[in-house]
């Protein structure tokens, strides 16, 4: 079970990623990072390692190219472009559907902060391939009308001390029609830096993905004809 670097084709864009596929993987979890973060995020890498130990494959990608990241460092606008980020996530799910190592695995999205909004939009666009969504300290409200179209079981995890985000998640929960739950981690703030907080996030995420990513995906409109041969 060794992590390897991969190049992910998301539409016409090539994204850098790190993928780990354990033996007998039950599904693959694609990470949607929050604003200003990427595949080297220590918090998401911690969760990814815990998921791999639970026999879930993981793919951490930079949703922006190096050139886009350089622009975003100055303007800070691309990190909030939910449409662009969701398009990249959906494209990455299509890439997983074509990859021989992952094509038979259901996809889960793990979204943090603004990445959660993009993950929910992407899940709504790939209902047959995306089997579950988990949000950590996320902004599901940024998914807008797409919340009504999410078919994947969705778990929203929020810190008890993250007051504005708790309210945003509670409101978003009322708009999601799929199976859903809201878990509030006691004593945790937005970044889950308190002792044991991130471990609890990893435990909850592993349980959720293990429950819902156990079967092979149905044919997805995002697949090409060659994928279905």
Handedness of CA 175, 179, 184, 188 (dihedral sign): negative
In a domain, 154, yes or no: yes
CATH number at residue 15: 3.40.50.1820
Q: List the one residue out of 17, 178, 44 whose CA is nearest residue 102.
A: 17
What average pLDDT does the segment 65-86 reach?
A: 80
Q: Which domain holds residue 106?
A: 4-214
pLDDT at 75 over 70: yes
Which one has a higher pLDDT value, 106 or 63? 106
What average pLDDT does the segment 49-72 reach?
A: 88
In a domain, 226, yes or no: no
In a domain, 172, yes or no: yes
Q: How confident is the model at residue 74 (pLDDT cuts 50, 70, 90)?
A: confident
What average pLDDT does the segment 193-219 reach?
A: 89
Residues in the chain: 229
What strand order describes the sheet that includes 4-10?
Answer: 4-10, 13-20, 57-61, 28-32, 107-112, 130-136, 154-159, 180-185
In a domain, 220, yes or no: no
What average pLDDT does the segment 95-105 reach?
A: 95
Number of domains in the chain: 1
The per-residue pLDDT for 35 is 60
Q: What are the helix (H) ranges across the chain?
A: 42-53, 66-75, 82-98, 114-125, 163-175, 197-212
In a domain, 228, yes or no: no
What average pLDDT does the segment 154-172 reach?
A: 96
The per-residue pLDDT for 9 is 92
> Rounded to two decimals, what is the model's pTM?
0.90
In a domain, 70, yes or no: yes
In a domain, 219, yes or no: no
What average pLDDT does the segment 113-130 reach?
A: 95
């Amino acid at each position: 079970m060794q992590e390897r670097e991969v190049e992910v084709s998301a539409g016409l864009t090539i994204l850098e990623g790190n993928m780990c596929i354990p033996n007998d993987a039950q599904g693959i979890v694609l990470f949607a990072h929050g604003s200003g973060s990427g595949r080297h995020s220590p918090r998401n890498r911690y969760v990814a390692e815990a998921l791999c130990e639970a026999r879930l494959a993981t793919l951490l990608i930079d949703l922006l190219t190096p050139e886009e990241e350089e622009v975003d460092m100055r303007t800070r606008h691309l990190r909030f472009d939910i449409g662009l980020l969701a398009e990249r996530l959906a494209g990455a799910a299509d890439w997983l559907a074509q990859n021989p190592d992952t094509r038979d695995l259901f996809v889960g999205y793990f979204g943090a902060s603004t990445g959660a909004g993009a993950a929910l939009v992407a899940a709504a666009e790939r209902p047959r391939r995306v089997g579950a969504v988990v949000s950590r300290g996320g902004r599901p409200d940024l998914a807008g009308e797409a919340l009504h179209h999410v078919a994947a079981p969705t778990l929203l995890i929020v810190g008890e001390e993250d007051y504005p985000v708790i309210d945003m998640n509670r409101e978003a929960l009322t708009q999601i029609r799929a199976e859903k739950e809201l878990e509030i981690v006691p004593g945790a703030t937005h970044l889950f830096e308190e002792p044991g907080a991130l471990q609890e996030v990893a435990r909850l995420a592993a349980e959720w993905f293990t429950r819902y990513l156990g079967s092979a995906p149905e044919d997805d409109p995002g697949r090409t004809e060659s994928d279905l041969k």
